[in-house]
Amino acid sequence: MTLTRKLNLHGYARNLKNGKMRIILAGNIKDIDILKTRLQRNNKFQIESIKESKWEKPVKVGFKIY
């Protein structure tokens, strides 16, 4: 079971052409913070910065990686 599923988060992650990644999440803010902390501690990739903003569009149930 993936962490997003354990935390009951919904949305998606997508690699962008410019090398950045977009991650859209819907769920409890505490669970989103847990995922964010785990991503920042992961040594398999480097996170230079995180930009947070409110997403106004619908989010499908589940989590998908494109």
What pLDDT, in 10s, does the model give residues 42-58?
878 888 888 899 999 99
Residue 39 makes CB contacts below 8 A (sequence gap 6+) with 47
When divided into structural domains, the chain yields a total of 1
pLDDT digits (tens, 9 = 90+) for 32-43: 999 999 988 987
Task: Measure the CA–CA gap between 61 and 20, rounded to whole angstroms.
Answer: 24
Mean per-residue pLDDT, 13-36: 95
Mean per-residue pLDDT, 18-28: 94
pTM: predicted TM-score of the whole model, two decimal places? 0.82
Domain extent at residue 34: 1-45
> Contact at 8 Å (CB) between 63 and 14?
no
The residue among 32, 15, 26 whose CA lies nearest residue 63 is 26
Task: Measure the CA–CA gap between 23 and 13, rounded to whole angstroms.
Answer: 4
Q: Give the model's pLDDT for residue 1.
A: 67
Is the residue at 13 inside a domain?
yes
Task: Measure the CA–CA gap between 28 and 8, rounded to whole angstroms.
Answer: 8
Is the residue at 5 inside a domain?
yes
What percentage of the chain reaches a pLDDT higher than 90? Answer: 74
Is the residue at 53 inside a domain?
no
Is the residue at 1 inside a domain?
yes
